[in-house]
A and B are shown apart, each in its own frame.
Chain A
Amino acid sequence: MNQHQDDVILRVENLKKYFPIHRGVFQRHVGDVKAVDGISFDVYRGETLGLVGESGCGKTTTGRTIIRLYDPTAGHVYFEGTDMATLHGSQLRQMRRRMQMVFQDPYASLSPRMKVAGIVGEPLEVHHAAQGREKRERVAELLDLVGLDPAYMSRYPHEFSGGQRQRIGLARALALNPDLIICDEPISSLDVSIQAQVVNLLEDLQQELDLTYIFIAHDLSMVRHISDRVAVMYLGKIVELTDRDTLYENPLHPYTQALLSAVPIPDPFIEEERQRVILEGDLPSPSSPPRGCNFSTRCPLAKEVCFQEEPELIPIERGHYAACHLVEPSQRPEERVDITEAFEDRT
């Protein structure tokens, strides 16, 4: 795809989003849900950055904080050098034209009382981009772009299927010619045969309009298909970040390895031979993350240091970042951690 390695469109620096917990009669602040807890990454122009993780890992909160649907607790989001985190009012609105979002649930993200023309045309109106006939023409053009008949303009969302609704949501996101689109699980509520249609559409539009995507999902095989680089999140932090081929061929972090091993492959011959790593337990609560490494409570390889100190996300190889005490830049490939072996030894 047309990515330009040195052209950073979005830089996220030490971003945090805590949701306060209030208790008691006086609504005292007793703690925080640390949904996003200090993450940093760059997004290059024209690429697709995949953000994967299990539910509750903070991937959706990350997307929403970047676009300022939530105000960040700390940290910076630089969009082409401008810090989104400090903008207000009209300045923020101006920046938002450049960044749009496609939401997960195509049933909840479209107003049932508005016609398609109103839904897709609303951004044009809010930003005074087009009115009257011009607006109708633009809406028709957008519907055509996402593969819907422009005649559908006068229908209501309930007349459409899930896949078609997701196309409407995409047309709305494209209305103002954004540079960056944050796709928050855009296909996870769709049927398998429709998922492929929407993913292909996203890829075509990227080519055609030179878009940059942040693609948030929990489906690792789909993320691998669409992304150029992938960041794996666990409990509010990025544990590994690299280009997609390296991530799937040479995952360094034990969590990434376990996650990949848990993904079923639609082939009974391979599944028969496969040794699967089964992680024990559940995700710890983000309001009281464990001391040390967040993954230490489920990691079969955890050592003393993992329970004491928090590992930093550091470059291990060129462009390959991991946050694990057991992974060091100096290691030879055969010294690297392998959760499958550790798991076999244990069982």
Chain B
Amino acid sequence: MSDQSSNNKILEINDLTTRFYTEEGVVHAVNGISYSVKEGEILGVVGESGCGKSVHALSIMGLIPDPPGRIEKGEVWFGGRNLLDLSDQEMREIRGAEIAMVFQDPMTSLNPVFTVGFQITEALKLHLGMNDKIARNRAEELLDMVGIPEARQRLDDYPYQFSGGMRQRAMIAMALSCDPSILIADEPTTSLDVTIQAQIVDLVNRLRDKLGMTVIWITHDLGVVAGMAHRVNVMYAGSIIERGTVKEIYANPHHPYTLGLLGSLPRLDEPPATKLYSIRGEPLDLLGLPSGCPFAPRCDYSVEQCLTQMPPLEPIDEEDRETEHLAACWEKERVGNQ
């Protein structure tokens, strides 16, 4: 995990806000998040279900179903263009070719009635204008690269003939087919077993080194992120509540939610504790947000101010404006001293 990332920003997101208008009311899925991704880095986006981590990725990709969803405001800058201003046609050219996405469930994200080979070559023919033969050779190369043995024969297999791990590899092969500069992986290992997860993590790390890709790795698993990401965004209730390099976040968390998440994980490298720390209460449903900090009802550190005012995402050390470690908490100093 050497730090090969440069300081060039490849993707910049400003004040992205996505809402869903449902029968029950307005779901505030993503609430004004801003961040940038450096070229060549692996950025982890961590949070529990319903925190907006997947919706924010779909917003970047222009895949929010409208209606009921709508991107209310914000900008997504990539290659000098704001992706949110592009037409469907222009977006189609970027999606898959420049920014590719791997989805969570390898069982349902492949089409069961077409062969794996057909599904990989489809993108190659569409985006790169390859003919059948060249596309097939390239597809074989890709399957081979992601570690599927006897790649040529496996091209003619249907998805059901692949195991879960192999399907996820095929999905990654498909995502890499047009040499994208950014790979967004949305919970790519969640439905896989740990030994297969280790294979996939290892694969993505190697591919990043080899192809110089930028990776946005979305997950709820703090363990996986610790081993591969350079920087981490922690999300809660549609907002980024803490950001920093992976080491800062894990060694020195400044938001009570991050602290609580880390505390509630039993660790293999430490003697078992008698009791796990648990965050009380339940995650917020995003119908109508509170005026204050969304974590306040579950927080052990909350003060008066937390109930009325949403804390901004600010550097943990007010003296050090250069630091990349930010937290959105009124009591961040007190939390950090824990």
Per-position contact with A for B191-223: 1 when CB-CB < 8 Å, else 0? Answer: 001111111011000000000000000001111
Alpha-carbon separation in the docked complex, A263 to B222 (Å): 11
Q: With A193-B278, A224-B266, A282-B166 given, is the CB distance from A269 to B251 under 8 Å?
A: yes
Interface centre among A54, A194, A222, A276 (most CB of B within 10 A): A194
B-side contacts of A112, CB under 8 Å = none
User: Is B165 on the interface with A (CB-CB < 8 A)?
Assistant: yes
Per-position contact with B for A29-46: 1 when CB-CB < 8 Å, else 0? Answer: 000000000000000000
Per-position contact with A for B248-284: 1 when CB-CB < 8 Å, else 0? Answer: 0011000000001110111111001101111110110
User: Is B335 on the interface with A (CB-CB < 8 A)?
Assistant: no
Is the beta-carbon distance between B193 and A248 smaller than 8 angstroms?
no
User: Is B227 on the interface with A (CB-CB < 8 A)?
Assistant: yes
8 Å CB contact of A194 from B222, B266, B282: B282
Q: With A191-B220, A268-B247, A269-B251 given, is the CB distance from A55 to B278 under 8 Å?
A: no
User: Is B1 on the interface with A (CB-CB < 8 A)?
Assistant: yes
Is the beta-carbon distance between A192 and B269 smaller than 8 angstroms?
no
Chain B nearest CB from A50 CB (Å) reads 12
Of A124-132, A136-144, A195-203, the one with at least 4 CB within 8 A of chain B:
A195-203
Chain A nearest CB from B41 CB (Å) reads 14
- Residue of A whose beta carbon sits closest to that of B249: A268
A-side contacts of B202, CB under 8 Å = 276, 278
User: Is A209 on the interface with B (CB-CB < 8 A)?
Assistant: no
A-side contacts of B280, CB under 8 Å = 197
The count of chain A contact residues (Cβ–Cβ below 8 Å) is: 45
Q: With A192-B265, A193-B48, A268-B226 given, is the CB distance from A200 to B276 under 8 Å?
A: yes
**Residues of B233-249 whose CB lies within 8 A of A:** 246-247
User: What is the total of A-B residue contacts with beta carbons within 8 Å?
Assistant: 130
8 Å CB contact of B276 from A225, A258, A271: A225
Chain A nearest CB from B244 CB (Å) reads 11
Q: With A191-B48, A193-B278, A263-B223 given, is the CB distance from A278 to B268 under 8 Å?
A: no
8 Å CB contact of A266 from B193, B222, B260, B279: B222
8 Å CB contact of A193 from B195, B196, B223, B279: B279
Interface centre among A192, A194, A262, A270 (most CB of B within 10 A): A192
**Residues of B60-100 whose CB lies within 8 A of A:** none
Is the beta-carbon distance between B197 and A262 smaller than 8 angstroms?
yes
8 Å CB contact of A264 from B226, B262, B276, B282: B226
Alpha-carbon separation in the docked complex, A270 to B251 (Å): 11
Alpha-carbon separation in the docked complex, A272 to B2 (Å): 9
User: Is A265 on the interface with B (CB-CB < 8 A)?
Assistant: yes
Is the beta-carbon distance between A260 and B275 smaller than 8 angstroms?
no
B-side contacts of A200, CB under 8 Å = 275-276, 278
User: Is B14 on the interface with A (CB-CB < 8 A)?
Assistant: no
User: Is B224 on the interface with A (CB-CB < 8 A)?
Assistant: yes
Is the beta-carbon distance between B268 and A195 smaller than 8 angstroms?
no
Per-position contact with B for A245-279: 1 when CB-CB < 8 Å, else 0? Answer: 00010000000001111111111111110101011
- Residue of A whose beta carbon sits closest to that of B265: A266
Interface centre among B198, B221, B262, B283 (most CB of A within 10 A): B198
Is the beta-carbon distance between B264 and A265 smaller than 8 angstroms?
no
Is the beta-carbon distance between B268 and A248 smaller than 8 angstroms?
yes
- Residue of B whose beta carbon sits closest to that of A57: B193
Per-position contact with A for B173-206: 1 when CB-CB < 8 Å, else 0? Answer: 0000000000000000000011111110110000
Is the beta-carbon distance between A191 and B49 smaller than 8 angstroms?
yes
Chain A nearest CB from B47 CB (Å) reads 9
User: Is B163 on the interface with A (CB-CB < 8 A)?
Assistant: yes
B-side contacts of A265, CB under 8 Å = 223, 226-227, 267-269
8 Å CB contact of A54 from B195, B221, B246, B279: B195
Chain A nearest CB from B78 CB (Å) reads 28
B-side contacts of A266, CB under 8 Å = 222-223, 226, 250, 262, 265, 267
Chain B nearest CB from A206 CB (Å) reads 13
B-side contacts of A9, CB under 8 Å = none
Interface centre among A55, A221, A258 (most CB of B within 10 A): A221
Interface centre among B48, B220, B227 (most CB of A within 10 A): B227
A-side contacts of B228, CB under 8 Å = 271
8 Å CB contact of B1 from A196, A260, A261, A272: A272
Is the beta-carbon distance between B195 and A279 smaller than 8 angstroms?
yes
Is the beta-carbon distance between A55 and B193 smaller than 8 angstroms?
yes
User: Is A163 on the interface with B (CB-CB < 8 A)?
Assistant: yes
Interface centre among B250, B278, B279 (most CB of A within 10 A): B278
User: Is A96 on the interface with B (CB-CB < 8 A)?
Assistant: no
8 Å CB contact of A192 from B196, B197, B220, B224: B220
Is the beta-carbon distance between A220 and B268 smaller than 8 angstroms?
yes
Is the beta-carbon distance between A199 and B276 smaller than 8 angstroms?
yes
Q: With A262-B197, A263-B194 given, is the CB distance from A221 to B282 under 8 Å?
A: no
- Residue of A whose beta carbon sits closest to that of B273: A225
Alpha-carbon separation in the docked complex, A272 to B247 (Å): 10
27 A-B pairs with CB atoms under 8 Å apart are A55-B164, A161-B282, A163-B282, A164-B282, A191-B48, A193-B260, A193-B264, A193-B283, A194-B282, A196-B277, A196-B279, A199-B276, A218-B194, A220-B194, A258-B195, A262-B197, A262-B198, A264-B224, A266-B267, A267-B226, A268-B250, A269-B250, A270-B226, A271-B1, A278-B195, A280-B199, A283-B163
**Shortest 9 CB-CB contacts between residues of A and residues of B:** A264-B223, A196-B264, A271-B227, A196-B278, A54-B193, A225-B266, A262-B198, A193-B279, A191-B48
Q: Which residues of A contact B (CB under 8 A)?
A: 54-55, 161, 163-164, 191-197, 199-200, 203, 218, 220-222, 224-225, 244, 248, 258-272, 274, 276, 278-280, 282-283
| Known A54-B195, A193-B48, A260-B268; further 16 A-B contacts with Cβ < 8 A | A55-B193, A191-B49, A193-B283, A196-B278, A200-B278, A218-B193, A221-B267, A224-B272, A262-B195, A267-B226, A268-B226, A269-B247, A271-B228, A278-B199, A282-B165, A283-B163
